[in-house]
């Protein structure tokens, strides 16, 4: 568990990082550097999107597997790393 803390700390201290969230594939929040309300909102929205992404990829190529998903938006970038049991969301403001 100490490793997880260190990794989160390292990510959070990276320039431009707004937050990092770790949750299980079912949407149970494990760790977050953001406040609870916004974390719950992100997880509730990203968890179904992640399921959809995995399914889309499976439909395109049944042997393929998702490693991560990057959503670039006007205001920031969401980097979502997917695993069988967990997923991690990093929110950062890309440098101009």
Partner 1 sequence: MANVEETMKRIESHKGVIGTIVVNAEDIPIRTTLDNSTTAKYARLLRNFTILARSTVRDVDPQNDLTFVRIRSKKHEIMIAPENNNLLIVIQSPCE
> How far apart are alpha carbons 50 and 67 in whole angstroms?
11
Torsion over CA: 24, 25, 26, 32 (sign)? positive
Q: What is the size of the binding site for partner 1 (CB under 8 A)?
A: 28
Q: Are 88 and 19 in contact (CB under 8 A)?
A: no
Helix (H, G, I), strand (E, B) or coil at 17: strand
Minimum gap (Å) between residue 52 Cβ and partner 1: 5
Using rule CB under 8 A, residue 93 touches partner 1? no
Minimum gap (Å) between residue 32 Cβ and partner 1: 14
Of 2-10, 14-22, 27-35, 54-62, the segment contacting partner 1 by CB under 8 A is: 54-62
10, 14, 70, 93: residue in contact with partner 1 (rule CB under 8 A) = 70
């Amino acid at each position: 568990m100490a490793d997880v803390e260190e990794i989160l700390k390292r990510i959070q201290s990276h320039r431009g990082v707004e937050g990092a969230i770790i949750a299980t594939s079912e949407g149970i929040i494990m760790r977050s550097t953001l406040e609870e309300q916004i974390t719950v909102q992100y997880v509730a929205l990203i968890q179904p999107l992640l399921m959809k992404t995995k399914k889309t990829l499976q439909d395109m190529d049944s042997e393929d597997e998702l490693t991560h998903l990057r959503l670039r938006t006007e205001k920031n970038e969401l980097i979502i790393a997917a695993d069988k049991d967990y997923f991690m969301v990093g929110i950062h403001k890309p440098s101009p």
